[in-house]
Amino acid sequence: MHRIMRNGMLAIVASLVIGGVWTNTGEAETARKGVSVDFKHGRLKVAENKRFLAHQDETPFFYLGDTAWELFHRLNREEAERYLEKRRAQGFTVIQAVVLAELDGLDTPNAYGDKPLLDNNPIKPNEAYFQHVDFIVNTAEAKGIFMGMLPTWGDKVVKAWGKGPVVFTEENARIYGKFLGSRYKDKPNIIWILGGDRLADQVEGIWRAMAKGIAEGDGGNHRMTYHPQGGQTSAKWFHEDSWLDFNMLQSGHSHFDLPNYEKVAADYRRTPIKPCMDGEPRYEDHPVNWKPENGWFNDFDVRQAAYWALFAGAHGHTYGCHDIWQMMAPGRQPISSARNNWYDVLDLPGAWDMLHVRNLIESRPFLTRVPDPAIITAGQREGAGRLQATRGDDYLFVYTPYGHSFTVQMGKISGAKVKAWWFDPREGTAALIGTFTNDGAKKFDPPGEPKRGNDWVLVMDDAEKGFFEPGK
């Protein structure tokens, strides 16, 4: 099945509740349309319980992001279409890309020889450059994909690493923000992401001015967040700002088994309540701590980060590949030891594994899902083998990264009897374990011997609900 999906089969489905039973509808229609998200459900909003995003008609929205920082800057239109089509087939719902790009985005022109600003002045946007941005936004829309648009990388706001130059003030940030908001106010597929890998210390005013300008331009049509430097969260500076619709943290790339669930859980506990997510975890094919001698993150690392974060309370998750964010290609200087061309790694297994993540989450009603560590009564581990548990009213998930056994407290979900499954996050398939009475405690032992990469998800359902196989 995994091999078939790597050849481009679209396995995502639209889901809804009918008569109390969670059913999957529109699979053939969605595949035929070739879209990842159906915009007929309306613009995005924060769901009523403040934990998730949803469309205007209450259809849940699962934020499954890919990191393509240099998409607007480095790819031509044919390449951009190729990239977006692959990510559509893999079920991604959001592509994160930067308008004023990271890699000398002001002074090195795009694929058509156009720079984004005239005289590097934020109030003098170059129409030719933005027509290329428009093309990519429109192409993504046609494929049912949101653009997580960063107005600028952080080196244009505050001097740190990166080429810059710093060009923003509070005054021109608001004008530039209003330009962007006005230009894209009627597009259904925009999520604004301010920041760009930077601390906001002492430049909060610039980011707030940019957010205010965007809101003035688009009339509040689109959701907004902030992408911080590694190890930080947007909540540090902007949690109580009304423009910040959901918190985004960057757990980063510093070491194996980085416990991103801790930062997600900390944001989840904040008041006022806002949705939260890890917007930049460890990337596939990225050297650990930026040093090849430490090894490279692979598909297991991106799965571990995703399930840890989601089961700790994140509303969505972002995947990344080191070669793809920078759109590495012959003739370009590799950043941080990138070793492959972007077009050669579109089918890395970790990218397809994100489709399985989405399918699992969307196969059960997720707007009522909460993290619940108390589900695990024995077998919890720290470090690489850390178990994470989450549940809805009538189902639960437990992720075991190394395939260690554990004991579950029954009675945490509805139903006199429960049906249990092992979901394989590598293949997106599920195997029925059996049906059990929903009381006491029960030990579960995943297939295979405990080891790195032998990760599994226990799925337990109220047997009376008639749920489909997990991930279907």
- What does the pLDDT look like over 187-209, one tens digit per residue? 999 999 999 999 999 999 999 99
Domain boundary among 307, 341, 362: 362
For residues 161 and 272, membership in a common domain is answered with yes
Full domain range(s) for residue 262: 2-362
Q: How confident is the model at residue 161 (pLDDT cuts 50, 70, 90)?
A: confident
Confidence of residue 342 (pLDDT cuts 50, 70, 90): very high
Count CB atoms within 10 A of the CB of residue 314: 32
Quick one: 313 and 452 in the same domain?
Answer: no
Q: Are residues 218 and 355 in the same domain?
A: yes
Residue 15, in any domain of the structure: yes
Distance CA 471, CA 359 (A): 5
Is residue 98 within 8 Å of residue 105, measured between CB atoms?
yes
Tracing tokens 């005239």 back to the chain, one arrives at: 118
348 and 281, same structural domain? yes
Are both 222 and 328 inside the same structural domain? yes
Whether residue 14 is predicted with pLDDT greater than 80 in this model: the reply is: no
Q: Quick one: 320 and 424 in the same domain? A: no
Distance CA 302, CA 307 (A): 9
Sorting pLDDT into bands at 50, 70 and 90, what band is 160? confident
Q: What is the mean pLDDT of residues 421-429?
A: 98
Q: Look at residues 315, 344, 362 and tell me which one is the last residue of a structural domain.
A: 362
Write the CATH number for 25.
3.20.20.80
Q: What is the model's pLDDT at position 9?
A: 34
Residue 472, in any domain of the structure: no
At residue 317, φ and ψ (nearest 5 deg) are -160, 155
Number of domains the chain contains: 2
For 256-267, b/e burial (b = at least 16 CB within 10 A) is bbbbbbebbbbb
In order of 39, 82, 372, the CA distances from 174 in angstroms are 29, 34, 42
Express each pLDDT in 276-315 by its tens digit. Answer: 999 999 999 999 999 999 999 999 999 999 999 999 999 9
Are 50 and 370 in contact, with CB atoms under 8 Å apart?
no
pLDDT at position 95 is 99
Residue 249: the pLDDT is 98
Cβ–Cβ under 8 Å, residues 95 and 81? no
Task: Mark whether 119 and 264 lie in a shared domain.
Answer: yes
Q: Is 2 helix (H, G, I), strand (E, B) or coil?
A: helix
**Do 343 and 387 lie in a common domain?**
no
> CA-CA-CA-CA torsion for 471, 89, 101, 159, nearest 10 degrees?
10
CATH number for the domain harbouring residue 457? 2.60.40
Q: Is residue 241 part of a domain?
A: yes
CB 249, CB 234: distance < 8 Å: yes
Same domain flag for 333 and 305: yes
Distance from C-alpha of 31 to C-alpha of 38, rounded to nearest angstrom = 11
What is the per-residue pLDDT across 78-105, written as a single tens digit (0 to 9) for each? 999 999 999 999 999 999 999 999 999 9
pTM of the model: 0.93
Whether the predicted pLDDT of 21 surpasses 60? no
148 within a domain of the structure (yes/no): yes
Same domain, 302 and 417: no
pLDDT in tens, 227-237: 999 999 999 99
Which residues of 101-243 form beta strands (DSSP E)? Answer: 146-152, 190-195, 224-227
C-alpha torsion 355→361→362→364, nearest 10: 150
Instruction: Say yes or no: 408 and 330 in one domain.
Output: no
CA distance 146 to 31: 18
pLDDT tens track for 116-140: 999 999 999 999 999 999 999 999 9
- Look over the chain and give the mean of its residue pLDDT values, rounded to a whole number: 93
Please check whether residue 354 lies inside any domain of the structure.
Answer: yes
* Domain endpoint, select from 362, 392, 412: 362
Does 353 lie in the same domain as 376? no
Q: Is residue 471 part of a domain?
A: no
Asked whether 316 and 306 are in contact (CB, 8 A), the reply is no
Whether residue 71 is contained in a domain is answered as yes
> Quick check: is 367 in a domain?
no
